[in-house]
Chains A and B, each alone.
Chain A
Amino acid sequence: MLLQMKGVEKRFGGVTALRQGDLEIRAGEVHLVMGENGAGKSTMMKIIAGMQKRDGGAMIWQGQTVDFENPKQAAQMGIAMVHQESLLAPHLSVAENIFLGREIPGPLGTVNRRKMLAEAARLIAQYGFRLQADWMVGRLSPAGKQLVEICRAIQNGTSLLIFDEPTSSLSEAETHEVFRIVRELRERGTGVIYITHRMEELRSVGDRVTILRDGATVHTEALATLTRDRMIQYMVGRAVNSIYSREPLPPGEPLLTVTGVSTPSLLRHVSLTLRAGEIVGLGGLMGAGRTELCRAIFGLDPVSSGSVEVAGRPLALRNPREAVAAGVALIPEDRQRTGLARDLPIGWNVTLANLDAVSPGGVIRHPEEERVTREAIDRLRIRCENGRQRAGRLSGGNQQKVVISKWVNRGARVFLFDEPTRGIDVGAKVEVFAVMDELARQGAAILMVSSELPELLQVADRILVMSQGHLVGELPRGCSQEDIMRLATAPPESGDLLQ
């Protein structure tokens, strides 16, 4: 037995991220860790890799209890992690990144650049990566960065390697490349933990699977005997078909018309129409241009050609202000960074996009603002102490409701939801869907970007699919995940790692 985690706990402030984390890893096995967003997978991995300290429970590494103060200690014991989000220094070369923090010393405290380049080149060649040791990391595509992360992790006598969703940004060919590496590691007796949302692709490499839900380990089983349906049941904690289902409405008049929109960077002649009362899904792989489309419509990115009309009136597409004034709302993918003012009270967030309504003549009417805030809290069922509480203290789902309430309060009619359920727990997801459904019933048109195919299938009235900046197709309600994936992977990738 390589690693045992027993009843591991981790709290952040008042939020419990992990309350009963159990995991056993054997040498030479590929162990999948699955669970919904917020189930505690990443937290548990960070504890194993020494990036966070546990608040309770036991961690036994090769027979003895260990407490890692930092990732370096974990690395010395032979534990390394390939991160989901790139933790690389963009201004340094591939070789310098691989050896970051453990540079090969030269004479007099200098760094032996030549040897590092040679070592890195040897490592790259050994695994057959399409990388060069002297390339600048900042110029690599996400996939290229991922390979550098992998090089970093496997370079010295690693006995346990953790992959945190390594293939989410990779193409088909690159994914197989990662699998090849995983197999090779397993044959050498290395333990591999693999976090993924896409179980099917790992049937071929995985040995066992452990499933987490709401911060606790709920099940461990050999992958060969665990069916997909049972797995999902463990993940969500109830029967699959009861998660969410929506009764679509007959669509009304067109509210958003996008005609031939292209951007200098990615989008190519994208056209679509959203009608009042519709929830339209937008699927595709990472980097297909879904977020970019939302940003272009909202006036955040420059558009090289094409036009956007809201309820028949053209948008100038110069800045978000015009989009907001026309009744467009963007619920951004990255809630923490772009959606929410975390340090400000809930109420201030609610009124932020429509402050004029409670501040005639520029002076804020506080009682009026409080009334609007209370209404928003009631209407979206935001769970909080009161409207003066800091928005950042709420749970992910409630933070998302605050972001949505900002636009409801503005009276927006076209909603662009970019990954609306990212990082929020299962219960809150259903509530967010209910809010979207309610908005649609009140005549809003909704575009919902999601990488989680089951969500698209359950919530959307029809599904548009993008690939490499093109809108490649439309699927009706009742299509399958495979239909979406087939469209999403349609045009062959160029395979260039350099952007």
Chain B
Amino acid sequence: MIKRLLPFLALLTLFVTLSIASPSFLTSQNLSSVVRQTAVFNTLALGMTLIIISGGIDLSVGSIVALGGLGGTMAMAKGVPIPLGVLLGIATGLLCGLLNGILITQLRIIPFIVTLGMMGVLRGFALIISDGMPVHDVPKGFQFLGEGTVFGFPFVLVVLIACAALVHFILEHTRLGRYVFAIGSNAEAAVYAGIPVNFHTVAIYALCGGLAGLAGLIEASRLSTGQPTAGQGYELQAIAAVVIGGGSLRGGEGTVIGTLVGGFIMGLLANGSDLLGINPYVQQALIGAMIIVFVAVDEFRKRRVPS
């Protein structure tokens, strides 16, 4: 129980502290901007949650952000309608993830290596197809995805909640989700139980890729350009969000709620440092240190209470 509580308490403490410390924190404008700023890596983190629970890792999602954004914006620049462009961006990401999954299961190379390689391959591919140039020719309406508002809430929040609900449902209520836990907890036992492990592994990498494609579109929408250099380093932020939220890189552990809380903790740390005028160099160090602190506390807790 305390495991689920700890990130929540940290988020709450952070929220209350910032509300008191800075008058401009608790304004709808500021909170909206936190949501918009964190939307991209929060979306990535949702897919990463599935991967990490399965005992894997996906380092290529940052590159997929660029490729998904480019896929969508290049199509829209050629006159493809916005919804279709968005679908194309998501499909691009899905294909990249599919490739990750197929390479991991067929070549039997560990996910770290495959996705490390794919991080470079996909980034290179994004630079090649765009010739290194950003796509500026994006329809105005596309900005709604990242910057639009519905009933006073940022539209990306609606998108994020929808994605979170989907991933939560998959994890907690479907066969796929159960197998993700089983594979992450004991892959060999899963094979012995007759579970089609390869099929389900490919499925979650594809799903993670699709979510990364969507994240790429959100990024492109916020910048109103498709950038071949977008999303660099985002994979690490996504991993950090999952880990802060209680996910274990050893597999078998993690929740969607925890991941979102982890993502918002990182978002609030960045936002709070900005508001309080903490130098951005210190900010980086601070967020890095937080990751270690959270995981250390979690490990300590696990050691005290025998599994």
Q: Taking beta carbons and an 8 Å cutoff, which residues of A are in contact with B? A: 12-14, 298, 300, 319-321, 323-325, 330, 332, 337-344, 348, 352-353, 355-356, 359, 362-364, 366, 390, 392-393, 406
Contacts and interface: CB of A to CB of B under 8 A. Distances in A.
A323 B193 contact: no
Nearest to B248: A343
B182 interface: yes
B175 A355 contact: yes
B181 to A, nearest CB: 6
Contacts of B194: 320-321, 323-325, 353
Given A320-B192, A339-B189, A341-B190, A362 B175 contact: yes
Given A12-B306, A341-B182, A356 B175 contact: yes
Nearest to A330: B192
B188 A342 contact: no
A343 B182 contact: no
B229 interface: no
Contacts of B258: none
Interface of B: 173-176, 178-179, 181-182, 185-186, 188-196, 252-253, 306-307
A298 B188 CA distance: 14
A338 B196 CA distance: 16
Contacts, number: 86
A363 B181 CA distance: 15
B188 A338 contact: yes
B52 to A, nearest CB: 14
Q: Could you say which of B176, B178, B195, B253 has the most chain A C-beta atoms within 10 Å of its C-beta?
A: B178
B186 A340 contact: yes
B268 to A, nearest CB: 30
Given A341-B185, A342-B307, 4 more contacts: A320-B193, A341-B181, A342-B185, A364-B174
A298 B193 CA distance: 11
A346 to B, nearest CB: 13
A332 B192 contact: yes
A342 B307 CA distance: 9
Contacts of A392: 307
15 contacts: A300-B191, A320-B191, A320-B192, A323-B194, A324-B193, A337-B189, A338-B188, A343-B185, A344-B185, A348-B181, A352-B182, A352-B189, A353-B194, A362-B174, A364-B174
Given A325-B194, A341-B189, A343-B252, A364 B182 contact: no
A337 B188 CA distance: 7
A392 B193 CA distance: 17
B174 A363 contact: yes
Given A14-B306, A356-B175, A344 B252 contact: yes
B195 to A, nearest CB: 7
B67 to A, nearest CB: 29
A366 B173 CA distance: 8
Contacts of A363: 173-175
Contacts of B193: 320, 324, 352-353, 406
B252 A341 contact: yes
A169 to B, nearest CB: 22
B307 to A, nearest CB: 6
A340 B189 contact: yes
Contacts of B178: 348, 352, 355, 359, 364
Q: Could you say which of B186, B191, B252 has the most chain A C-beta atoms within 10 Å of its C-beta?
A: B186
Contacts of B253: 343
B289 to A, nearest CB: 28
Contacts of A12: 306
A352 B190 contact: yes
A362 B252 contact: no
B189 A338 contact: yes
A47 B188 CA distance: 31
A91 B195 CA distance: 33
Contacts of A352: 178, 182, 189-190, 193, 195
A405 to B, nearest CB: 12
A497 to B, nearest CB: 29
Contact of A341 (B176, B186, B306, B307): B186
B278 to A, nearest CB: 39
Contacts of A353: 193-195
Contacts of B188: 337-338
Contacts of B191: 300, 319-320
Given A332-B192, A355-B175, A364-B173, A348 B182 contact: yes
A18 to B, nearest CB: 17
Contacts of A340: 186, 189
A345 to B, nearest CB: 10
B249 to A, nearest CB: 14
